[in-house]
Amino acid sequence: MSKADSSDLDALVNKMKSAASPLRTVLRELYDKYLPLRDGKVADYIPELAKADPGSFGITVVTKDGQVFSAGDVKQQFTIQSISKPFVFGLALEMHGRDYVLSKVGVEPTGEAFNAIVLDETSNRPFNPMVNSGAVATADLIEGKDFPERVSRLIAMFSRYCGRPVYVDNTVFMSERATGHRNRAIGHLMLNFGMVRDRIEESLELYFQQCSMMVNCHDLAVMGATLANGGVNPVTGERALEQQYVKYLLSIMLSCGMYDYAGEWAYRVGIPSKSGVAGGIVAVVPGVAGIGIYSPPLDAKGNSVRGIKVFEELSERFGLHAFETGFTGPSFLDQFKPARTS
Ligand code: GLU
């Protein structure tokens, strides 16, 4: 049997297993329960985001062995936005190593809005890679012989995580760039302090490109599953991130991934996650699975309203909090197995 045939067969076996698994029912229940929720507001700072359908809602779980469970609009495409930040940080780690990256971008939560104009002037670096200042400084660390090579390295990296070629939505990119004055101001302030190199305009362009990458809910779950699986995409078998760096992405996602709700998220939900302004959330249950959610209406802190609800419930029901001890409820792992029929 050829390699392609055997991976087709694996996919078929996984599909049959997941069709009979309790998690499929659980996700459907969560979808039905939270779809009627009408709270929150779709981001409208650029016209492309304002066009999103507030009723669009998808949930996908991909296990570390590549099984897929989903409910709702899991193929609806949207821009990755801030969810790109931990992944680009991972690429910077691979290019420069932990200590150099840490000398350029801190790892302390700010408790401030993602686009706050605050910098850690004592250590001369932005606070962390999940706020815009830190993300722009991280983009500045992405190397390449010229700008096209820097962009194509980013695209290649996201494609490895998603297991398919991804692309930048040019209309969103043009809008992000046309309206990105605040990010430009942050970039130039960092240049003033010597926190970034003098190619800052180009690095800002790179940041706008990374935010405009198109993904769907299924992609987010595969990306999360790749981290859950130590950096190897469980669907394609391709490595997207060196294993030694996975824990750094996850720890920053846990402490800083959910805008200025990150502390409460770590406290209540306890799953390393990152959300984006288009309404996506990627989450990682280390060693177990990745979870992707898409639902565009956002709460006041910028997180998907339905997304927060689903994660709160999944964490409670299956004891997914990172610091859970002695959980006596149903095991999440058991939800992946085919249900017993007798
Ligand atoms: N492109 C957005 C910005 O930099 C990202 C917003 C987000 O997803 O947090 O303002």
Q: How confident is the model over 176-226, as pLDDT tens digits?
A: 999 999 999 999 999 999 999 999 999 999 999 999 999 999 999 999 999
Q: Is the CB of 183 under 6 A from ligand 1?
A: yes
Q: Which of 85, 133, 222, 274 is catalytic?
A: 85
Is there a single domain that holds both residue 74 and residue 103? no
Is residue 113 predicted with pLDDT exceeding 90? no
Say which residue the tokens 């990119």 belong to: 173
Angle of CA points 250, 118, 87, to nearest 5°: 25
**pLDDT confidence of residue 337:** 85
- Could you tell me which of 333, 299, 272, 244 has the C-alpha nearest to residue 39? 299
Distance, CA of 262 to CA of 286 (rounded, Å)? 18
Q: Is the CB of 285 under 6 A from ligand 1?
A: no
pLDDT tens profile 24-55: 999 999 999 999 999 999 999 999 999 999 99
Is there a single domain that holds both residue 92 and residue 70? no
Q: Is residue 94 domain-resident?
A: yes
Q: Which of 34, 161, 207, 248 is catalytic?
A: 207
pLDDT tens profile 214-265: 999 999 999 999 999 999 999 999 999 999 999 999 999 999 999 999 999 9
82 is catalytic: yes
Q: Is residue 340 domain-resident?
A: no
Give residue 34 CA to ligand 1 midpoint distance, Å: 25
Q: Is residue 275 domain-resident?
A: yes
Q: Is the CB of 81 under 6 A from ligand 1?
A: yes
Is there a single domain that holds both residue 159 and residue 238? no
CATH number at residue 193: 3.40.710.10
- Report which ligand 1 atom has the smallest distance to the Cα of 277: 8
Is residue 169 predicted with pLDDT exceeding 70? yes
The encoded tokens of residue 99 equal 């200590």
Q: Is residue 342 domain-resident?
A: no
- The per-residue DSSP string of 184-223 comes to HHHHHHHHHTTSS-TTHHHHHHHHHHHHTBEE-HHHHHHH
167 is catalytic: no
**pLDDT confidence of residue 339:** 67
Q: Is residue 288 domain-resident?
A: yes
Q: Name the pLDDT band for 342 (thresholds 50, 70, 90).
A: very low
**pLDDT confidence of residue 338:** 80
- Could you tell me which of 314, 226, 225, 214 has the C-alpha nearest to residue 265? 314
**Into how many domains does the chain fold?**
2
Q: Is residue 251 domain-resident?
A: yes
pLDDT tens profile 55-103: 999 999 999 999 999 999 999 999 999 999 999 999 999 999 999 999 9
- Bridge partner residues of 285 (DSSP): 289
Give residue 132 CA to ligand 1 midpoint distance, Å: 7
Q: What's CA 77's distance to the chain center, in Å?
A: 14
Distance, CA of 282 to CA of 160 (rounded, Å)? 16
Distance, CA of 291 to CA of 232 (rounded, Å)? 16
Is there a single domain that holds both residue 69 and residue 91? no
Is there a single domain that holds both residue 223 and residue 322? yes
- The per-residue DSSP string of 138-174 comes to HHHT---SSHHHHHHHHHHHHHHHHTS---B-HHHHH
Is there a single domain that holds both residue 134 and residue 50? no
Is there a single domain that holds both residue 232 and residue 303? yes
- Full residue range of the structural domain in which residue 185 is found: 84-115+123-211
Q: What is the mean pLDDT of residues 155-167?
A: 98
Is there a single domain that holds both residue 153 and residue 266? no
Which of 48, 87, 110, 132 to mutate for ligand 1's pocket (most ligand atoms within 8 Å of CB)?
132
Task: List the beta strands (DSSP E) in the chain.
Answer: 58-63, 68-72, 78-79, 214-215, 273-275, 280-285, 289-294
Is there a single domain that holds both residue 290 and residue 319? yes
Please name the amino acid found at residue 267. Y
Distance, CA of 59 to CA of 151 (rounded, Å)? 29
pLDDT tens profile 274-296: 999 999 999 999 999 999 999 99
Task: Classify 22 as helix, strand or coil.
Answer: helix
Is there a single domain that holds both residue 171 and residue 70? no
Mean of the per-residue pLDDT values of the chain: 95
Q: Is residue 339 domain-resident?
A: no
In this structure, are residues 162 and 224 in contact, taking their beta carbons and an 8 Å threshold? no
> Domain ends where: 174, 190, 211?
211
Is there a single domain that holds both residue 141 and residue 232? no
Q: Is the CB of 229 under 6 A from ligand 1?
A: no
Backbone angles phi, psi at 285, to 5 degrees: -100, 100
Q: Is residue 190 domain-resident?
A: yes
Distance, CA of 120 to CA of 128 (rounded, Å)? 10
**pLDDT confidence of residue 3:** 55
Is there a single domain that holds both residue 10 and residue 93? no
Give residue 322 CA to ligand 1 midpoint distance, Å: 27
**pLDDT confidence of residue 8:** 74
Q: Dihedral sign, CA of 17, 236, 141, 220?
A: negative
Angle of CA points 319, 320, 323, to nearest 5°: 90
> Domain ends where: 148, 176, 211?
211
> Domain ends where: 211, 230, 260?
211
In this structure, are residues 197 and 138 in contact, taking their beta carbons and an 8 Å threshold? no
